[in-house]
Chain A
Amino acid sequence: MRITALIIRILRQIVRDKRTMGLLIFAPILVLTMLHLVFNGNDYTPKIGFVHIPESIVDQIDISDEKITEYKNEKEAKEDLSSQEIDGYVVFHNQSPSIFLEGSDPTVNGAAIKWIQTVLKPLQGNEPSLEPKVDFLHGSAGMGQFDYFGPVLLGFFVFFFVFLIAGVSFLRERTTGTLERLLSTPLRKWEIVTGYVLGFGIFTMIQATIIAAYAIYVLDMLMEGAFLYVLLIILLLSFTALTLGILLSSFANNELQMIQFIPIVVVPQIFFSGLFNLETISEWLRWIGPFTPLYYAADALRDIMVRGYGWDEIYRDVFVLLGFSILFMIVNILALRKYREI
């Protein structure tokens, strides 16, 4: 009852502020469209497996290289490919090579094919008939950069905007004295936090549906899995953004200080979300990834949209995201003790 009142109030406030609402929906659409039109390029050393390497190649390449793995049969190679241990493998049928790629990241695909072609060159001689056949586990040769980056960006935009508006609106609640006013009513502290999560959650659901539908159906972003899973992940991600935004708003005294959190808290998450290959990030920074919500959301979104995976592959990400939200919610409730002890 009290939570419902809070949810209705929050939704009314959002709807009343047409400009912010427009920004939340159209800004991501605009940027996604531009990225769709623009994208290209990167540098990466692929991890390749070989099944039955012909003697003639063994001399050519350095098997001890950590980027190369040798397999006894194709089954083992395929398993490692599924678990993303390797980016692709080469198998030889009657001396003619076939390439099999994991395929979800176009940058990696390109790098892998280029690398294999260089290595196989001495074998081919001048015979064009030995041009290797390329197969993909996921994706296809036609998959663009945008398809791979898309899911991450989708997650990022939702995180970014929800973090900002939820943080600012809670900040206002605090600076205008309405938070104190709320706490002079029988409203419980957990009800305030829950009301905020649900109120913004409902709005995010609508926002995410519109943006995701636009990206998938209008911009033709690759979509192999279920739309509902995409929405589930985005909703959970928005909960973490929301609860983190509310939490950090208590360290800000005005809107500008809230915005200062963006380069510190929001933008760095992009680097660890798989938009850039994690292995190109230096060792001493890499550990940060698992502490950022976007890392898990991006992983799950890519599993769903690019690889077409379902619940079995994403449930771990789902629980980690839920864990983040619950943790932030508890800290928020504790932080409200500053305004009322009970």
Chain B
Amino acid sequence: MEATKACISIRHVSKQFGKQQVLKKISLEIMEGEIFGLLGPSGAGKTTLVKQLAGLDTPTSGENFLLQEKMPSLKLIEKVGYMAQSDALYGELSAKENLQFFSALYGLKGKKQQQRIEEVMKLVQLSDHLHKLVSNYSGGMKRRLSLAIALLHEPEILILDEPTVGIDPMLRKSIWEAFYELKNKGTTLIVTTHVMDEAEKCDRLGMIRNGSLIAVGTPEELKQKTNSATIEEAFLVYGGA
């Protein structure tokens, strides 16, 4: 682990909304080419943290660095693919029109655009529904289309906020296979989740509770250190239960 470069560096980041302290002095390094899981219950502050990494918000104090450069930066934004927790899609347009729009924003056009649209839709197994209006999509299909859009411009860093919510187990498995494939190509992935068994699939995990980072390590390490059989148990131990 020491040899690989830190791709994302979160330094003493705190965030306050009014009186509520949502992130408390978080420091964390994420390495190039790993799948890093942010695990924590709903309301822990996962979305708040990854939004900062995507350039959509700034810390109250502390700094975020991506690829040795300080966020937010327009240059970095091109290298990041972001999938928000809620599906941000245009319902009155077809899936293809949504994909065309977002790929154009990243400067993809013509044959290359066409090719990328086919590739990402195949990856999320939506190729047969390319021409459907998004308003006629099911929840799981929208989730997958959002993922496809985040993958369009082949970003170096992928930030996925609860990517597999509402997706059935079979498809979830195939999506995780896609994540590993991206990782093998050198992409760094940050995946937030509140599902414990999904956390097992990550290379390393950061556990967040009430805005504090309570533990970081590989799933094996975390279980060993706490003498737990499952990640869930480990989380409870770290959480002071």
Contact = CB atoms under 8 A, between A and B. Distances in A.
B88 A339 contact: no
Interface string B49-62: 00000111010000
A183 B93 contact: no
Contacts of B203: none
Interface string A300-319: 00000000000000000000
B105 A17 contact: no
Interface in A325-342: 339-342
Interface stretch (A6-14, A24-32, A148-156): A6-14
Interface string B103-141: 011110100000000000000000000000000000000
A182 B97 CA distance: 15
B88 A342 contact: no
How many chain A residues sit at the interface, stated as a range, is 20 to 34
A71 to B, nearest CB: 63
Interface stretch (B71-79, B178-186, B208-216, B218-226): B71-79
A16 B80 CA distance: 31
A202 B93 CA distance: 19
Nearest to B133: A16
A185 interface: yes
Nearest to B77: A186
A4 B104 contact: yes
Interface string B80-105: 10101011111011000100111011
A17 B77 CA distance: 32
Query: Which of under 10, 10 to 19, 20 to 34, or 35 or more describes the interface residues of B?
Result: 20 to 34
A336 to B, nearest CB: 12
A17 B92 contact: yes
B84 A180 contact: yes
A187 B55 CA distance: 12
A342 B84 contact: no
Nearest to A177: B88
Contacts of B88: 176-178, 180-181
A13 B86 contact: no
A8 B84 CA distance: 24
B66 to A, nearest CB: 13
Contacts of B72: 340-342
A17 B58 CA distance: 37
Contact of B56 (A2, A17, A340): A340
A13 B90 contact: yes
A161 B100 CA distance: 29
A8 B72 CA distance: 28
Interface in B19-72: 54-56, 58, 72
A178 B55 contact: no
B77 A180 contact: no
B127 to A, nearest CB: 22
Interface in A162-219: 176-178, 180-188
Given A180-B56, A184-B77, A340-B55, A2 B105 contact: yes
Nearest to A15: B92
11 contacts: A4-B104, A5-B105, A8-B101, A9-B93, A12-B97, A180-B56, A184-B80, A186-B105, A188-B74, A340-B55, A342-B55
Interface of B: 54-56, 58, 72-74, 77-78, 80, 82, 84, 86-90, 92-93, 97, 100-102, 104-107, 109
Given A9-B97, A180-B88, 9 more contacts: A5-B105, A178-B89, A178-B90, A181-B84, A181-B88, A184-B82, A186-B107, A341-B58, A342-B74
